[in-house]
Amino acid sequence: MTIQDCSIRPRRCERKWTGVNQAHCSSCHEHFSTVKNFDLHRPGKVRADGTAACGKPATMTRTKRDGTVVPLFREVETVNGPMWVSYVEDTRDHDKEQDA
C-alpha cells in the first residue's frame, strides 16, 4: 500500500493517506474521500495557477429537491486523520464512480 503525504510548499501539513481515490487540498489542507467531494468544496472557478477559493466543508450545505437544506459533508475519523465524506446516503453513487 502506497502512503501518500502532503508535501505541498510552503504550507506543508502532516496529513498522510493511503486511498488512491482520496483527494487532499493543497490550499486549505482539508482531506476528501473522493475527487468528486474535493471538487464540491471549491465551487468557484479554478485560477490559472491551479488554486481556487475553498469552501469550509464543515459549513457547506446543499438544497435537496424538496427544499430541505442538508450539510454537504460529514467528517469521519480515519487511521490517518480526519476525512470529509458525502453527508447523505443518496450521494454515495457519486463516490462509487471511482470504482467503475
Q: Where on the chain is the footprint of Zn ion (CB under 5 A)?
A: 6, 13, 15, 25, 27-29, 54
CB atoms within 10 A of CB 56: 10
* Phi-psi group of 83: left, alpha or beta (phi > 0 → left; psi -120 to 50 → alpha; rest → beta): beta
Closest contact distance (angstroms) between CB of 57 and Zn ion is: 8
Task: Give whichever of 48 and 100 is closer to Zn ion, judged by the CB atom.
Answer: 48
Closest contact distance (angstroms) between CB of 38 and Zn ion is: 8
Closest contact distance (angstroms) between CB of 23 and Zn ion is: 9
Q: Decide: helix, strand or coil at residue 71.
A: strand
Please name the amino acid found at residue 8: I
